[in-house]
């Protein structure tokens, strides 16, 4: 889960999941030959679209946007998808619906305010019972005008709140609480508002559908959904005039991989590009007395296409990330505890890109490990004993399942790019070389990552079998496989 501190505010990027929109509509008049360089469409020309909310914590607990929710009709759910993950992700952040003091909707399209309400006994009631909701009055009035975007409005998301007085209708720019204000940027709709957070000399802006993703930064890359596209362009000019020189953190409402970034001009092209906001490393604990080292054969197999875009700061092939990893320790120790010969690993699942967090991890250890070895390995995997890769993994995992101690089979041939690993009867995977589609000959592919945290010289292959029937279940044949010899220590990866 991605969290940053901005002055007196703590900002956490949350997601209601991913849905799919038509690529042509998402990029308007921009030719597919151009936008497909940035976003990959499926066979139906649909592109993955994030549902990003932001949780703000300070004196008040504030939620910007509430995603799609769970009230779509069967037809709309089939068309767009209805992941409905926001409440689960709020819970993972330690927040219940009763904890929310304020909800801010930038506008009232169904994919921005769906969790405003839930159905109880067939009646829409506030999901966040103690919260005040804010939206522009002009936006609410437009939702009842039966214009060309009428399909995007569901009155159950907001009318009950207006009727009860829980939703407050604004008339133009306004301060919600000290440091948090809204500003109208017409284009997508006439009265869409952005949310501006200012504290400690820093500024962040949830710009909503004015710039829905990092692929829409060009002034003229305007969605077909925008009611007033020329005003979208003018509003972007107005936004960039401050956001770039004043270095505002720009929050993207629909980017499936990048929830926020600073903006900069590419010196080679003069086009805008996102300056990736790197997930901060976890706070370094005081040096621990235990030094450890694992020189091991390492395997990571996941559901991505061979080549795994996650290794190159891109979103997973299928948005979610799941798979397994395994270590066969050739030489190792945790303090005085010898780890030579031990085999361990785990299965994992993230509902979206790893940097968004909310992952689940299932540890597996060989049943031949001793109690001291088990304690050592679980401590290393927890990230509490140092080791950059394990610390980073721990920072994006919110749920660790009970360890399983099972017979583990581990066969590993790096040169042939072949493996066969089994965790008891729960997990099985095989690795084989990637084959040339024309000749059938095996490829030899290796990636050089001199500054890698996980590995430095992984061989890239593909899975024959990648299947789990355990608590984290999956079945991903023909997916990605990385094989490497690694040397991990409490100071990080050394080889």
What's the rounded mean pLDDT across residues 81-92? 92
Average pLDDT of the residues of the chain:
92
159 has pLDDT over 50: yes
Domain ranges across the chain = 3-276, 292-493
278 has pLDDT over 60: no
What's the rounded mean pLDDT across residues 89-105? 95
The pLDDT value given to residue 165: 97
316, 330, 356, 312: which is closest to 451 by C-alpha? 312
Q: Quick count: other Cβ atoms within 10 Å of Cβ 450?
A: 6
115 has pLDDT over 50: yes
Is the distance from CB of 47 to CB of 94 less than 8 angstroms?
A: no
The pLDDT value given to residue 276: 52
184, 187, 209, 186: which is closest to 196 by C-alpha? 184
Q: Which two tokens stand for residue 168?
A: 């407050």
pLDDT band at 1 (very low <50, low <70, confident <90, very high): low
Which element (helix H / strand E) includes 24? helix 23-27
What's the rounded mean pLDDT across residues 370-383? 94
Residues 6+ positions from 320 with CB-CB distance below 8 Å: 303, 349, 350, 351, 352
pLDDT tens by residue, 378-416: 999 998 899 989 988 988 888 899 999 999 999 999 999
The pLDDT value given to residue 436: 84
Q: Which two tokens stand for residue 427?
A: 């997990």
The pLDDT value given to residue 138: 98
Q: How far apart are CA 16 and CA 25, in angstroms?
A: 21
Is the distance from CB of 249 to CB of 267 less than 8 angstroms?
A: no
What's the rounded mean pLDDT across residues 189-198? 98
To which CATH superfamily is domain 3-276 assigned?
A: Ribonuclease Z/Hydroxyacylglutathione hydrolase-like (3.60.15.10)
Helix (H, G, I), strand (E, B) or coil at 418: strand
Who wins on pLDDT, 308 or 282? 308
Q: What percent of the chain has pLDDT over 70?
A: 96
Residues 6+ positions from 274 with CB-CB distance below 8 Å: 214, 217, 250, 258, 261, 262, 263, 264
282 has pLDDT over 90: no
Residues 6+ positions from 438 with CB-CB distance below 8 Å: none
Torsion of Cα atoms, 467 then 469 then 472 then 477, to 10°: 10
Q: How far apart are CA 406 and CA 483, in angstroms?
A: 22
For the four alpha carbons of 259, 262, 268 and 269, in that order, the dihedral sign comes to positive
What's the rounded mean pLDDT across residues 418-437? 95
pLDDT tens by residue, 204-250: 999 999 999 999 999 999 999 999 999 999 999 999 999 999 999 99
270 has pLDDT over 70: no
pLDDT tens by residue, 287-334: 545 899 999 999 999 999 999 988 877 778 888 999 999 999 999 999
């Amino acid at each position: 889960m991605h969290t940053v501190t901005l002055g007196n505010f703590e900002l956490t990027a949350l997601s209601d999941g991913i849905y799919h929109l038509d690529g042509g509509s998402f990029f308007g008049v921009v030719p597919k030959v151009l936008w497909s360089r940035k976003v990959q469409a499926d066979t139906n020309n649909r592109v993955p679209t994030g549902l990003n909310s932001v949780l703000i914590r300070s004196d008040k607990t504030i939620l910007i946007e509430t995603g799609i929710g769970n009230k779509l009709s069967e037809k709309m759910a089939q068309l767009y998808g209805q992941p409905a993950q926001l409440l689960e992700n709020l819970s993972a952040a330690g927040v219940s619906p009763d904890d929310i003091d304020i909800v801010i909707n930038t506008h009232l399209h169904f994919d921005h305010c769906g969790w405003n309400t839930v159905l109880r006994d067939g009646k829409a009631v506030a999901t966040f019972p103690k919260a005040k909701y804010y939206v522009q009055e002009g936006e609410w009035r437009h939702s009842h005008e039966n214009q060309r975007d009428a399909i995007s409005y569901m009155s159950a998301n907001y009318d009950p709140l207006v009727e009860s007085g829980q939703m407050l209708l604004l008339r133009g720019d306004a301060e919600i609480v000290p440091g948090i204000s809204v500003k109208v940027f017409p284009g997508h709709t006439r009265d869409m508002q952005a949310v501006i957070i200012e504290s400690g000399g820093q500024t962040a802006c949830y710009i909503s559908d004015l710039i829905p993703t990092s692929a829409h930064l060009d002034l003229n890359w305007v969605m077909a959904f925008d009611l007033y596209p020329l005003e979208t362009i003018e509003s972007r000019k107005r936004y960039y005039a401050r956001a770039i020189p004043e270095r505002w953190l720009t929050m993207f409402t629909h980017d499936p991989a990048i929830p926020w970034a600073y903006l900069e001009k590419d010196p080679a092209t003069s086009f805008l590009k996102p300056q990736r906001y790197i997930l901060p490393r976890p706070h370094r604990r005081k040096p621990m007395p235990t030094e450890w080292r694992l020189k091991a054969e390492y395997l990571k197999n996941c559901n991505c296409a061979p080549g795994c875009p996650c290794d190159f700061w891109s979103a997973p092939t299928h948005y979610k990330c799941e798979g397994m990893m395994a270590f066969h320790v050739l030489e190792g120790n945790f303090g005085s505890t010898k780890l030579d010969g031990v085999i361990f690993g785990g299965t994992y699942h993230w509902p979206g890109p790893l940097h968004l967090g909310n992952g689940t991890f299932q540890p597996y250890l060989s049943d031949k490990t001793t109690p001291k070895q088990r304690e050592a390995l679980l401590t290393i995997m927890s990230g509490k004993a140092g080791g950059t890769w394990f610390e980073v993994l721990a920072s994006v995992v919110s749920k660790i399942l009970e360890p399983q101690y099972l017979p583990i089979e581990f066969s590993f041939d790096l040169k042939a790019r072949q493996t066969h690993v089994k965790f008891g009867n729960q997990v099985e995977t095989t690795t084989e070389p990637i084959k040339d589609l024309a000749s059938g000959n095996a490829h030899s592919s290796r990636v050089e990552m001199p500054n890698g945290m996980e590995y430095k010289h992984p061989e890239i292959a593909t899975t024959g079998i990648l299947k789990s029937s355990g608590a984290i279940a999956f079945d991903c044949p023909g997916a990605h496989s990385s094989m490497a010899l690694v040397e991990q220590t409490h100071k990080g990866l050394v080889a």
